[in-house]
A and B are shown apart, each in its own frame.
Chain A
Amino acid sequence: MTAIAAGPAPKATGAKPSASPAVAPRRLGLHVFLAAVSLLWLAPLLLAVYASLRPYQETSKYGYFSWPHHLSFAYYREAFTQSGMAQHFLNTLLIAVPAVLLTLFFASFVAFCIARVRIRGGFLILILFTAGNLLPPQVMVTPVYELFTRIPLPYWMSDSLTMYDSYWGVIAIHIAFQTGFCVFVMTNFMKALPEELREAAIVDGAGVWTQFWRITMPLCRPALAALATLEFAWIYNDFLWALVLMSSGDKMPVTSALNNLKGQYFQDYNLLAAGSVLVALPTVILFFILQRHFIAGLTLGATKG
């Protein structure tokens, strides 16, 4: 795909003379610019990593731009144990994994109904979901809170005996809210898929479920990978809902664990940096694993017109 797009691109980019010597300086400028931007973009992260490896006394004495005297992972150990990060990581996984999977499943089916089955009122449903995702979550905070405190759950599901202060509530609100964006993306993606395959399946007598699960979903894998990365990052990074819908500190997701590292009077920024790097690590790793699919998935296909 890169090859197709890259072929004619330089041609279109300029009244470029056919002589090749003119190309080199322009390319050099391009590389200098892109390298500078990349460096600027990476700098905060690299500095955070660098700072997290050095003791606070050293950086406060010599500044952050100095040669290291001591390098160690001590802050990482401290950040991990002091904030109870293991527990919080587990909490986040308990919320994010089911939420992402269910969101993608439901959103795909809704998109399938809109784009492929073309059910009546499909356009209205699309608007309902997408517009819902544009609403600011803060508008829903109070009613959701009140609703969840009134929904009883058995003890084996929630030790608070309600939806409030349980993972169920947080998962439910993430699904309800995030489905909107995924429906939007999946509908666009599915509209661009070739119809022939599914029509052949219909002729062969496949039901809606078979058309969806066995014919359409395998073709959507790139889009699903892209959405999985994004949604995981978003739900993983959520701050607000856990803050509003949870009260027990030991149930909080990992983002709030960083707050445990904030000192009352004194802030050890290097410790915070170590904590930040630890918290960021899972999403960064997931990004690198799914990166290849990511770009392909966001292509959305719809631009072919």
Chain B
Amino acid sequence: MPPKADLEPAVPTGPETAAAPAAAPTEGRRRPRAGRRRIRRLTTRDRLVITVLLGLPLLFTFVLVWATTLASIGLSFTNWDGIGSAKFIGVDNYKELFTNYPPFATAIWHNLLWLGFLAVVATPLGLLLAVLLDRKIRFGRFYQSAIYLPVVLSLAVIGFISQLIFARDDGILNTLLGTTGPGGHPVDWIGNPHINIWVVLLMAGWRHSGYVMVLYLAGLKGVDPSLKEAAAIDGANARQTFFRVVFPVMRPVNIIVGVITVIEALRAFDIVYAINGGTNGLELLSVLITDNIIGEASRIGFGSAIAVVLLLISVGCIVAYCMTELREEKS
């Protein structure tokens, strides 16, 4: 739809015709391009529209995201089991968590490992692929689609596919390695608790790097070509041009990619849940929370305490994000 056509019916609108044009130019003249915020007089109808359509999502987020998060923090100091009344027990849950709950340390380690693997291996790989694909090459679209395809798959599906590949007795990888025959020593890729986390990380990274690639591909297309030309004229080589000019200019995309990497690492759940329910070497904080809360034991207070630990880890990332945004806003 051409935008011109959209403008036409906007002309003869209601009572705000008089107020709005009077307000807009004066404001514009008084502060010409100075402040980022321009206060414009809004009509009653405008205020009503904003109140309703901004209020609804705000209400949703407040009640379902923020209020429930705060409630979870409260619950973590109780021994609630979901049926009886909750009793305040102070930091007992946390004490037990850190002293008497072996899966907890494993899960924290796995979550950090997940974050590290995505940040150090999968994300840079995605960036590299994006840089390679950001030129007119033959089959570019094919490569791009192939690498991106896993992103739209659910981690549950990926979990099942990994079983097909990594199963001990007739999995594809062991067949390929030739260890399945008599006398061979097939590696139990999924059953061995020392190995399986790496297999899962490989699959998660497989998906993640495709995702990062698309984000950077989009970011690279948005970089002003004259910047690169200017850098080349100034005698910068390819590496310098990329790291000193192109990469910093992509800051908004970098932030998105960073945010997504953290989210993926902390939320990781489906893939291990699909493989073995998140046990036997595949413990993750998200799994422990789910098990305690909706499992048979129904230890809601305890599960909430684990959730709060996960929350604290993500709060670190949230604060970092807010700081960068704040700096952006000020500049």
Residue numbers in A under 8 Å from B153 (CB-CB): 45, 237, 280, 283-284
Known: A59-B170, A240-B290, A273-B160. A179 touches B61 (CB 8 A): yes
- Could you tell me if B221 and A136 are in contact, using CB atoms closer than 8 angstroms? no
A231 shortest CB reach to chain B, Å = 11
- Could you tell me if B290 and A138 are in contact, using CB atoms closer than 8 angstroms? yes
- Could you tell me if B311 and A136 are in contact, using CB atoms closer than 8 angstroms? yes
B17 shortest CB reach to chain A, Å = 3
A225 shortest CB reach to chain B, Å = 12
- Could you tell me if A34 and B322 are in contact, using CB atoms closer than 8 angstroms? no
Rounded to whole angstroms, the CA-CA distance of A279 and B153 in the bound complex is 9
- Could you tell me if B229 and A11 are in contact, using CB atoms closer than 8 angstroms? yes
Central interface residue in B9, B36, B43, B71, by most chain A CB within 10 Å: B71
In the assembled complex, B119 has its CB within 8 A of some CB on chain A: no
By DSSP majority rule, is chain B's interface helix, strand, loop, or mixed?
Answer: helix
A56 shortest CB reach to chain B, Å = 9
Residue numbers in A under 8 Å from B238 (CB-CB): 12-15
B21 shortest CB reach to chain A, Å = 5
Known: A123-B329, A207-B43, A240-B270. A132 touches B20 (CB 8 A): no
In the complex, residue of chain A having the shortest beta-carbon distance to the beta carbon of B35: A118
Central interface residue in A11, A14, A142, A219, by most chain B CB within 10 Å: A142
Rounded to whole angstroms, the CA-CA distance of A237 and B58 in the bound complex is 25
- Could you tell me if B232 and A11 are in contact, using CB atoms closer than 8 angstroms? yes
Residue numbers in B under 8 Å from A204 (CB-CB): 7, 10-11, 21
The interface on chain B, measured as residues whose beta carbon lies within 8 A of the other chain's beta carbons, has a size of 139
Rounded to whole angstroms, the CA-CA distance of A219 and B38 in the bound complex is 22
- Could you tell me if A9 and B228 are in contact, using CB atoms closer than 8 angstroms? yes
Q: What does the 1/0 interface line of A1-34 toward B look like (CB < 8 Å)?
A: 1111111111111110000000000010011011
Residue numbers in B under 8 Å from A34 (CB-CB): 129, 132-133, 137, 139, 143
Rounded to whole angstroms, the CA-CA distance of A135 and B58 in the bound complex is 16
In the assembled complex, B37 has its CB within 8 A of some CB on chain A: yes
A217 shortest CB reach to chain B, Å = 9
Interface residues of A in 66-115 (CB under 8 A from B): 106-107, 109-110, 113
In the complex, residue of chain B having the shortest beta-carbon distance to the beta carbon of A7: B225
- Could you tell me if B252 and A300 are in contact, using CB atoms closer than 8 angstroms? yes
Known: A197-B7, A205-B13. A45 touches B61 (CB 8 A): no
Rounded to whole angstroms, the CA-CA distance of A193 and B69 in the bound complex is 35
Contact among A126, A172, A258 for B157, CB-based, below 8 A: A258
Central interface residue in A125, A206, A291, by most chain B CB within 10 Å: A206
- Could you tell me if A205 and B167 are in contact, using CB atoms closer than 8 angstroms? no
- Could you tell me if B132 and A136 are in contact, using CB atoms closer than 8 angstroms? no
Central interface residue in B72, B176, B303, by most chain A CB within 10 Å: B72
In the assembled complex, B66 has its CB within 8 A of some CB on chain A: yes
Rounded to whole angstroms, the CA-CA distance of A162 and B75 in the bound complex is 23
In the assembled complex, A303 has its CB within 8 A of some CB on chain B: yes
Q: What does the 1/0 interface line of B201-242 toward A look like (CB < 8 Å)?
A: 000001000100011011111111100110110000110011
In the complex, residue of chain B having the shortest beta-carbon distance to the beta carbon of A44: B161
Known: A125-B58, A142-B293. A41 touches B206 (CB 8 A): yes
- Could you tell me if A276 and B160 are in contact, using CB atoms closer than 8 angstroms? yes
- Could you tell me if B157 and A280 are in contact, using CB atoms closer than 8 angstroms? yes
In the assembled complex, B289 has its CB within 8 A of some CB on chain A: yes
In the assembled complex, B112 has its CB within 8 A of some CB on chain A: no
Interface pairs (22), CB distance under 8 Å: A8-B229, A45-B149, A60-B170, A109-B54, A113-B54, A126-B325, A134-B317, A141-B294, A145-B293, A147-B68, A176-B65, A177-B64, A183-B57, A208-B50, A214-B9, A236-B154, A243-B294, A258-B160, A273-B161, A287-B152, A297-B218, A300-B218
Interface residues of A (CB under 8 A from B): 1-15, 27, 30-31, 33-35, 37-39, 41-42, 44-45, 47-48, 51, 59-60, 63-65, 106-107, 109-110, 113, 117-120, 123, 125-145, 147, 172-173, 175-177, 179-180, 183-185, 188, 197, 199-210, 214-215, 218-219, 229, 233, 236-237, 239-240, 243-244, 255, 258, 267, 269, 272-273, 275-276, 279-280, 283-284, 286-288, 291, 294-305
